Structure 1
């Protein structure tokens, strides 16, 4: 059994549990640092203990979040006052490992919200102003536009924001050096919750340029995303350990829509899909039409829906049955042609398209899929769908495919991405009186988890997407004490 040592981006299920679910599809396992060493939201993990664990753990490959190894987690990387030298000291362990190291780093985000839940305290009053200032700085650099007025952001917030970014950019440059000298077999540079106009997008573009100039010995890939990178790199580790590199075509019912840029991202979804598949260990190709491609496996992209809707903060008024039907018809045609098919639902951020799921259930297509995702940003969705598909193909090629683990992951994503994100979350927030534009806080013992479980279970029974599976009673939890995300599990009946 292949074993992969994982240093996750943080303790959330998508960073810690999803990679293990991906590995299980191919009959492999993931081991991680002791839970006490991991972060707890704004409380950083023990980065020195994590480095020590990594040094003494034997595995076939290591998948490492550089933010966690440097600072103790994703939020810690945004809040930490530690200098570059402290982070680099912890990264030295990477050069000591005998197994190949697949690592990911993140270009810091600039969210468009007055919300300090995951940011320094000044974000509560200056977040939107910093987002606008960041976009204006990028336009000045890229287009020669007039420089923004610094007075639009309090000086202390502005200076801290830019100095933190400078420090993290230096660390990302050093990570490129580790790929250049071969310390890292793979480096993925993720653009976290970005936009076309943003300082982070400028940083990301600089890093992409250096990735080519340095002629690295390790593979460097860059695309939108962050939370999914652990799962993607676990799939890559599986593929490379098994010496399998499956050919996968990217297909859309309307191929022109692969050029659309989804919210929170700086590149078209087609570009992101290709890079995510390559990061997962596949050999991707872009199909010029919706006819079945030559490749034996296909990642179907349900494309972004115009209008600025978002299942978390601005749910769409109604689904688009025409677009959903077109994607479902394409999936059915590909399956009939004998293709192995996974679906990345990028229609609306932060949840799955209920019209697409209804269409797939009506045609009984969900049990025939080799991967599915529809959560958070397009990058998160594309990466986890690519990882699931790659693990499925690796397991098929090596004879280690665990069909129960595969079905469990399909059921898990449907329960979380639709039954909660694009259905139950809006209901529970309305009942709590939550402002959807800001992260809320749920008091322990308030019974919110039980109410969410009833909502998700009722929707699951109504949809009946995968016969024989159900939401496991008592499995719903709020990992960060808020309604934005949940932990959930499924089981066979």
Structure 2
């Protein structure tokens, strides 16, 4: 049985818990994760020296290692946006991988390193403090600089850039650009490590990106470096972030099994493959191909040769026009979709092959109309894998990885499929919009205290009420809910199989 070491992107459930739950029932995979107390906490970085010790202690007994460069170098995804390390200090930390490769050449080493995001809004929740005031301006500066570099900017846009750069304090722009330069140097160095054979495979996902901007400009330079070294078959770059660990875990497992799973994609509308989702930089159809390929699979045109069917409930409008689970786009935005036909096809496909459902029509949660239809038609229980959280790449990558990791055993996959349906639909799209209002009415706060425990109990009651009567792939019950980052945006959810009733015994 292969042992796979995973150094996650951070301590959130999507990066730390999901991989463990996906392989929990797999009999041919043994996953090794660091102790959670080594993972840091949101803006508090993980301790490099302790992580290095843990890697040195455990690397020798593994067959594969999946490494988050952001965790190794900066201490997590949020610390990668906040750190004050020099470029030299960051590059020195990468030497650990070369040392581990030299000492344990038998270990297959896969890694992922993010291109840092630059959100288009003012918020310091996951960014430096100055992003609360200057976030949107910093984003716009990136777009305008990129347009100028590509010779696309108008005279008015050049003038706008000059004005913006003067309005942002010099210390703010310097700090932001300096950190981006350091992180870009780290990404370039990971390409060098792949060229030198230290890394067997590397992905460089773009975190919350756009068609133009800081990340898009950096990706162009990275793509040029990848091409110049003829490394396109070993280094992939596409939109994504929080799914990356699961994707490379699936790649390691597929490699250990000696298989290349084939995936046939069925879309909810004719134009769906060409829509560019919000927070992404390319058409949906192309990004899905990258995700499948990064996981060690391939897409196929033929339904007959497919190992899995990926059904995609896709957005019909992209970028800023795309709806959000807490404030969905008007019904007219979904005019192209014939959901009854998609549901009928899903039923027919599920009778023949394992169906993976990527629910991508809105960001940050499930499409309520679509999920209501699946419940009405008793189709939830036919799903082999499901995801509908955060960005399109996050959700699609998660369910693609789940499907491949669980093989074709529906009993292995059922519990995590239920986990995703409960969290992505019931919590993210239904209960989450009420819990903040409930907290305000009751004078409660998300601060990790007893007040947060009361909020967790409220969420549990609401989700149990909504879950009653659902026809899920397995009969489950909620055992625990908490708020890992002390906010309502995400929860840490634990479920278990329901005990059989005495009447049925």
Q: 1:360 Cα shift? A: 2.2
Give the alignment partner of residue 296 of structure 1, picking from 307, 316, 323.
Answer: 307
**Please, which runs of 5 or more residues in structure 1 have no aligned partner?**
435-439
1:112 maps to which residue? 120
Provide, for residues 14-61 of structure 1, a one-character-per-residue CA deviation record: whole Å limited to 9, x for no partner. Answer: 000111122235332321222232111111101121122112212121
Distance between the aligned counterparts of 2:304 and 2:170, measured in 1? 55
Q: Where do residues 14-413 of structure 1 align in structure 2 (5 Å cutoff)?
A: 14-27=14-27, 28-57=29-58, 58-95=61-98, 96-97=100-101, 98=104, 99-145=107-153, 146-147=157-158, 148-149=161-162, 150-216=165-231, 219-285=234-300, 287=301, 292=303, 294-306=305-317, 307-312=321-326, 314-316=327-329, 323-336=338-351, 338-393=352-407, 396=408, 401=409, 403-413=410-420
Partner Cα distance (2:313, 2:46) in 1:
37
Does the CA contact (< 8 Å) of 1:345 and 1:353 recur in 2? yes
Deviation at 1:294?
4.0
Residue aligned with 1:301, SS: strand
The equivalent residue for 1:476 is: 481
Going from structure 1 to structure 2, the CA distance change for 1:463 and 1:83 (only over 3 Å counts) comes to: same
Displacement of 1:5 in angstroms is 0.7
Question: What is the aligned partner in structure 2 of residue 486 from structure 1?
Answer: 491
3-state SS of paired residue (1:17): helix
Q: Equivalents in 1 of 2:91, 2:339: separation in Å?
A: 48
| Alpha-carbon offset, residue 335 of structure 1 | 2.3
**Post-superposition offset of 1:304:** 1.1
2:13 equivalent in structure 1:
13
Asked if structure 2 preserves the Cα contact closer than 8 Å seen for 1:9 and 1:67, the reply is yes
What is the match of residue 463 of structure 2?
A: 456
Structure 1 position 485, deviation (Å): 0.6
Task: Give the aligned partner of residue 416 of structure 1.
Answer: 423
In the comparison of the two structures, how many residue pairs are matched? Answer: 473
Verify the 8 A CA contact 2:383 2:473 in the aligned structure 1. Answer: no
Residue aligning to 1:437: none
Structure possessing the higher relative contact order (Cα contacts under 8 Å, 6 or more residues apart):
1
Decide whether the 8 Å contact of 2:206 with 2:240 is kept in 1: yes
User: Deviation at 1:9?
Assistant: 0.4
Rounded Cα–Cα distance in structure 1 between residues aligned with 2:429 and 2:84: 37
Q: 1:281 to 1:217 in 2, by over 3 A?
A: same
Larger Rg: 2
Q: Unpaired runs of 5+ in structure 2? A: 499-505
Distance 1:405 1:296, change over 3 A: closer
CA contact (8 A) 1:352 1:418 kept: yes
SS of residue matched to 1:248? strand
What does the per-residue CA deviation read over 1:93-119, in whole Å, with 9 as the maximum and x for residues that have no partner? Answer: 222243111110100001122111111
**8 Å CA contact 2:415, 2:474 repeated in 1:** no
Conserved in 2, the CA contact under 8 Å of 1:185 and 1:218?
no
**CA–CA separation in structure 2 for the residues paired with 1:13 and 1:357:** 23
Tell me the distance in 1 between the aligned counterparts of 2:278 and 2:263: 25
Report the CA distance between 1:160 and its aligned residue: 1.2
Identify if the C-alpha distance between structure 1 residues 25 and 194 changes in structure 2 by more than 3 Å, giving closer, same or farther.
farther
The change in CA–CA distance for 1:344 and 1:217 in structure 2 (over 3 A counts) is closer
Could you tell which deviates more after superposition, 321-330 or 175-184? 321-330
TM-score scaled by structure 1?
A: 0.91
Q: Give the distance between the partners of 2:168 and 2:464, measured in 1 at CA.
A: 46
